[in-house]
Structure 1
Amino acid sequence: MVERPRHPKKDIERVMRVAESHGWRFAKGKKYYKAYCPCGEHLHTVHVTPSNPWYVVHLKYRFERTGCWDRRSS
């Protein structure tokens, strides 16, 4: 399996790795990553160069609010 490229911002990379441990997978685009939920119902985008200083906090909560966050994929 090909590993995705690292996110240039360490805080966002950390959130993405936690999401991957919950079964989410990421695909790299030009200006964002697409985050696919393990259940296939949710899709989020993760910007490469966010301008909002609260972006990391909001991204973390956005992942945690999905209904399948606690369900681990097998």
Structure 2
Amino acid sequence: MAGDNGNEELRIGVYVCHCGSNIAGVIDPKVVAEYASTLPGVVHATDTLYACADSGQSLIKEDIKKYNLNRVVVAACSV
């Protein structure tokens, strides 16, 4: 799948945050991440407990390098 300029392959990473029970109390982040992994251009999708925490941010940074991501989607709360 080509990006905006037609030459760059989209390599999207999707991170679905539990946000404690804020989000996980309403939806199942694992199921959402599994679905996201089937979408065009998505090369990595996972759930994370707290995307805003240092550990969550470190995971995303590591994955950008590991999977050569050029787009990132973070589904999280507004805190």
Using CA pairs below 8 Å that are at least 6 residues apart, which structure has the higher relative contact order? 2
Regarding TM over 0.5, the answer is no
Structure showing greater radius of gyration is 2
TM-score w.r.t. structure 2 length? Answer: 0.31
Q: TM-score, normalised by structure 1?
A: 0.32
Higher helix share: 1
